Chains A and B, each alone.
Chain A
Amino acid sequence: MDSNKRSDAEEQSGPGEQRASPARPPFGKKQLPSIPKNAIPITKAASPASSTQSANGTHASYGPFYLEYSLLAEFTLVIKQKLPGIYVQPSYRSALMWFGVIFIRHGLYQDGVFKFTVYIPDNYPDGDCPRVVFDTPVFHPLVDPVSGELDVRRAFTKWRRNHNHIWQVLMYARTIFYKINTMDPLNPEAAVLYEKDIQLYKSKVVDSVKLCNSHLFDQPKIDDPYAISFSPWNPAVHEEAKEKMFAHKRRPDDYNKGLPVSGLSWVKPGSTQPFSKEDNPLQT
């Protein structure tokens, strides 16, 4: 089991791998430089995309729109899934980069709060699978101890449009903390410890969780208005927001009532006859 882990890891990096992930320099405090500071896109979300995608036979100038909307559609799917303990937010500057945070509520990694960034290839959905990089490398067999990158590819060997979605990647990122897999690890130490010395593994995990949580209030690694940042509880700031969040559950009903409904219907549910509702005004 342990023996072939490294070779496999290398095997997995196929031809496309080189391009997508070159040797990973330390994350350090360096910010992703590829974000132009003075970019003033006409819409904040409009992400530029390179590819003169003529896949549809359409004009290249619409390529960015297709990419943008594909990613927005992915995002709406994520919202719809209501993944437990996972929050994501596309960055201000590019829809190809999403900020996320994951809350682990039980198990070995209980109380862990791990921030991460999702990088989506610009030829999405026809490229490789998105990449997930934890801000702080979590101690985990599948997380690169240096770059913090999660081995997503093992779950999505071939990214297939229509079948694979980004919410699945996020789901996967959550699952690894509940079901530990030591096969072909990116962090062999963690894998070995998990197999041989679970106690030490556990204590290392606790340390790692502590480390991550101690950096919780740090400035976001990436300077972006939509980057997820944490701050200590401050009633003046947060109390109101909290109340709103709790109130939100009741909202849909009140919300609907308040809005002027502009549509009309006199169709009785279950019928396809017009004006079949009984409370019709008399037509005598």
Chain B
Amino acid sequence: MTSMVADGNRDGQSLVLEGVDPETCMIVFKNHWAQVVKILEKHDPLRSNVGGLGGGHGLGGGGGIGSFRFGPIPGDEASAVQNYVEHMLFLLMEEECGQNGAMGPILEFVVMENVLERLFIWSLRREFTDDMKIEQLKMYEMLIGQARQPLLHHKPVLKPLMMLLSSCSGSPSGPSSSTVETELVLLLNQLCCVLAKDPSVLELFFHTSEDQGAANFLIFSLLIPFIHREGLVGQQARDALLLIMALSAENNVVAKHIAENTYFCPVLATGLSGLYSSLPTKLDVPSEEWHCLHREDWQQLPALVQFLNSLEFCNAVIQVAHPSIRNQLVGYIHNGFLVPVLAPALHKLTLEEVMTTTAYLDLFIRSVSEPALLHTFLSFILLHRHDSVHILDTLVSRINTPFQLGTVSLALFRTLIGLYCEDVMLQLIFKYLIPCNHMMLSQRRVLRERDCYSVSAGKFLALTPSCCSPDIIPPPLRKLDSILWSKVTDDFHTGTIESKEVLSEEDDCGNSCVIGSEIYLDVSYLHYLYDAQNGIRHCMRACRVWSAPYDGENPPPEEYQRSTLEEAGRTRQPIASRKTPNQMHCSGPPLKDLTATPRMLELEWDDSYDACPTQLHPEEDQETRPIPEEPPKHIQELRRTAIMIVKGSYIEESEFQNDVMVYDLVAQKDANDSGSNYHVSSRPTEAAEQEVLDGPVTDQKTTNSESSMRNGLSSSVNEMDRQKRGSQSDHKSMSPEGEDLMAQYEELIRTLGAQPGSPAKADSELKSPTDLMNDEEDEIDFNSFSPETPEAETSLSPFGTKPRSGSKGHSVPFTGPFVSVLLSRLENMASNALHVNLLLTGILAQLASYPQPLLRSFLLNTNMVFQPSVRSLYQVLASVKNQIEQWSANNKDFPELLTAAQHCLLVRESSLRDSQSPQTGDWLHGSEAERIKNNQIQPKTVVPLNKTEVYATVLFTEFLKELAAIAQEHSILSHFPTDQ
């Protein structure tokens, strides 16, 4: 019997004791225990004369017995105990519950005799080596994992277990060996599994802890050091912790304990900081095209893998834990990681470092799924201010940076937009659109109209450059991808409607339900339609949680009209709080900066400012000329970047310390490239000179859009101008603190009106902005009856528009820096690298998929009439088309290059498809690639990537199709928000 038991035990198999009389088992168990006790007592130092071998001497007495009690334990005795114990444990494990859940007799005996505690003391009595610990830990592992009756409810079982755990935790001899740790974590993991199944044990764990004099949750505390551990141990520890987290959701005591008495959350959050600090500060960028960390990138970086593991764990904790823990953790991540670590990292000194941080941030956001954690990251980006500039503004301004920082920033925004987060979209775009200042008043009612007849789609497609027109040169690829749509019937119908009528008596009603006509349908367009439908549906479904439809009525534009004005000062906080008084008074006012720059440049990029110098000067001449406040920093950055690119040189401004290095580098590279850059950007002008009347882009527009950065630039200047005027007034009349800009403005007007000495001119000029705007709109509203299209709008004479935009000064409609930057980069499409264009078009296509009428109408409704200062996507595309037309006209080999580039792109597609997980925006048209692959097209000639115009032309044509498809799908999906 014993041998059988022993064998069973050794094999780790649960040997069936069925048929063995429980009483026999009990007897065996007791016998074993008696043997064990003998040995135990023999060596018990606390025992005096009672021992089995009981000599009558005192503790300090004769060597023989004393050496038994205090000396080392002979090996044979130790192994005897071990053998007995193994048998006993097996018997205990195999014992069934008594009746009605009572203890079985062996367990009862174990409890009565305090067997486990005595065994633990025995192991202490021996040298408590790692081996002993491991032996004990394994013993409990086995018991807990395999016992057939609940053991942990009994204090005599629990107490020695806790003692064991304590001894493993606070070992003064330094860190335990990794084997002990492995066993410890395994046991803890098991205990947590038991807890998860039977929360009633939880109480006992707490109480037992109290007995130990520490009101802590030992299991939990023991796990904390392993949170950020690599490998299996770390994983098991995190799994175990997650079980406890899940428990905390339903158990307030646990939650309260963890939140109030443990360092769980701080450890977790600061651990992120620690792990972050070991990440490479600069990435080895594989190629120029690289713009975000894909799986295969970060898997190469162990430190990053470890960070992501911990981040994932945070995510999981937040998902399952009690709200109090969740909130605490989220708070610590915000205040212990994002603000002190990530924010400075985003403002490091070198371009590479900033770029790396941006790529990390993008990766982190993509790795996080739990809304509360996303909330933390997003509110950090949207609301946190570093050096009084919102992170978001800094990030937006960086889109305009040349090189990889700009591209990586674009990739980050692609991620942000793909979250379908109302708050993000609100800050980036909607808050600028809500007031509806960007459109003519008359257009507001058509804002929600759907494009029933695909007019906009047609207009987008009509921008297809002539060199890409399928009608003119159907490239070989196109032929492959087209289907000939002809009447399939051989018998009856061979022709058009007329012939049908003539021929067919069958055509009884004259209904031409099927018209065969030989048309090559662009099959790729079907795929665009399909993708567009999916994209829009998905977006609509996601946006159902949004608070408002953003349809031009809700939120009501009237209520937020003034907020556009405040925009310059960033609505959310009082303006003054952003700037120290010191800065306000001594910083070089932007006005001076502007006037310091060559007049020529100004003319180019600031028509609103420049057009009305006479109106500005009286103000300047006023004796109490206020010191204009600086524009918001992000605007300054925009402007600065723009200046750099326009001029090809870096204009240093002393107040920017942080990014100086970054931009210095930019400037150096920029200076090298400036010649070509400038050349590219000035091309449209030449085009305009030659083709003033051709195409949808008019001279007014092309001259306006002299440089790619133009749009962002002039917008920023407009905004700055606005800001400046606002601050002029507020400075004069009252403290800038508190009230919003608008109120201050109105206050000023009243003050001015009341002052007899104030020039009447000022009064009339400084009409309330809303009045101005209304006047403006009324006037334009009237005009808008005749010109229905944006082209018509822009074709107004420069003399007609300039004074107007000048006169309204501060209320120049602005669609926000993000849209401006995107469109200005898009306008530069022809000279952008391929991957930049892929990102840009990807982002814009994603934006166009948003169902909110405000955004949809702004991007896709080609019939909308916008304010002259607002550039629409359509206008920008028209400008790009013109550049392309110009280019193709001047380059004889363009058609061949185009065809070759198409081949190259399709090959690129299929190779990407093989190697990567799909990433929105990286694809042109996925299914196309498959077909190409099947057709085994090899590029005849490889078009070098620096032929950006060629690639841009291909991409542009595809982008038009994509936009048209999205516009078409919007027209039929708008009514099925919940349809699936």
- Would you call B545 and A21 a contact (CB within 8 A)? no
Identify which of A226-234, A235-243, A272-280 touches chain B.
A272-280
- Would you call A262 and B538 a contact (CB within 8 A)? yes
Q: Which residues of A contact B964 (CB under 8 A)?
A: 62
- Would you call B383 and A275 a contact (CB within 8 A)? yes
1/0 per residue A25-37: CB within 8 Å of B? Answer: 1010010111111
Minimum CB–CB distance for B773 against chain A, Å: 19
Interface size class of A (residues with CB under 8 A): 35 or more
- Would you call B514 and A34 a contact (CB within 8 A)? yes
Indicate if B450 sits at the interface (CB-CB under 8 A): yes
Q: A36-B489, A265-B545, A266-B423 are in contact. Are A59 and B470 (CB under 8 A)?
A: yes
Q: How far is the CA of A75 from the CA of B976 in the complex (A)?
A: 12
**Contact residue among A39, A147, A149, A259 (Cβ-Cβ distance under 8 Å from B488):** A39
Q: How far is the CA of A76 from the CA of B971 in the complex (A)?
A: 9
- Would you call A266 and B327 a contact (CB within 8 A)? no
Identify which of B134-142, B206-214, B493-501 touches chain A.
B493-501
In chain B, what residue has the closest Cβ to A97? B513
Indicate if A263 sits at the interface (CB-CB under 8 A): yes
Interface size class of B (residues with CB under 8 A): 35 or more
Indicate if A199 sits at the interface (CB-CB under 8 A): no
Q: How many A-B residue pairs have CB under 8 A?
A: 277
Q: How far is the CA of A282 from the CA of B545 in the complex (A)?
A: 21
- Would you call A48 and B514 a contact (CB within 8 A)? yes
**Contact residue among A30, A96, A131 (Cβ-Cβ distance under 8 Å from B508):** A30
Identify which of B71-79, B293-301, B515-523 touches chain A.
B515-523
Indicate if A214 sits at the interface (CB-CB under 8 A): no
Q: Which residues of B contact A32 (CB under 8 A)?
A: 506, 508-509, 511, 513
Indicate if B799 sits at the interface (CB-CB under 8 A): no
- Would you call A66 and B458 a contact (CB within 8 A)? yes
Q: How far is the CA of A73 from the CA of B509 in the complex (A)?
A: 25
Q: Which residues of A contact B544 (CB under 8 A)?
A: 256, 261, 263
Identify which of A4-12, A49-57, A187-195 touches chain B.
A49-57
Per the 8 Å Cβ criterion, residues 505-538 of B in contact with A are 505-517, 519-523, 525-526, 529, 538
**Contact residue among A19, A65, A255, A267 (Cβ-Cβ distance under 8 Å from B423):** A267
In chain B, what residue has the closest Cβ to A272? B555
Q: Helix, strand, loop or mixed for chain A's interface?
A: loop
**Contact residue among B331, B457, B545, B974 (Cβ-Cβ distance under 8 Å from A69):** B457
Q: How far is the CA of A48 from the CA of B505 in the complex (A)?
A: 22
- Would you call A62 and B514 a contact (CB within 8 A)? no
Minimum CB–CB distance for B538 against chain A, Å: 7
Identify which of B159-167, B308-316, B372-380 touches chain A.
B372-380
Q: How far is the CA of A41 from the CA of B519 in the complex (A)?
A: 13
Identify which of B426-434, B595-603, B634-642 touches chain A.
B426-434
Q: How far is the CA of A109 from the CA of B383 in the complex (A)?
A: 66
Per the 8 Å Cβ criterion, residues 81-120 of A in contact with B are 91, 93-94, 96-97, 119
Q: Which residues of B contact A69 (CB under 8 A)?
A: 454, 457, 968, 971-972
**Contact residue among B334, B419, B489, B572 (Cβ-Cβ distance under 8 Å from A283):** B334
Closest 6 CB pairs of A and B: A56-B458, A33-B506, A263-B542, A274-B423, A265-B422, A50-B515
Residues of A within 8 A of B (CB): 19-22, 24-25, 27, 30, 32-43, 46-50, 52, 55-66, 69-70, 72-77, 79-80, 91, 93-94, 96-97, 119, 121-122, 125, 131, 133, 147, 149, 161-162, 165, 252, 255-256, 259, 261-275, 280-284
Residues of B within 8 A of A (CB): 326-328, 330-331, 334-335, 371-372, 374-376, 378-379, 382-383, 419-424, 426-427, 430-431, 434, 450-455, 457-459, 461-462, 464, 469-471, 482-483, 485, 487-489, 492-493, 496-497, 500-501, 504-517, 519-523, 525-526, 529, 538, 541-548, 555, 560, 563, 571-572, 964, 968, 971-976, 978, 980
Given A122-B515, A263-B421, A273-B571, 4 more pairs with CB closer than 8 A:
A59-B464, A79-B975, A125-B453, A264-B423
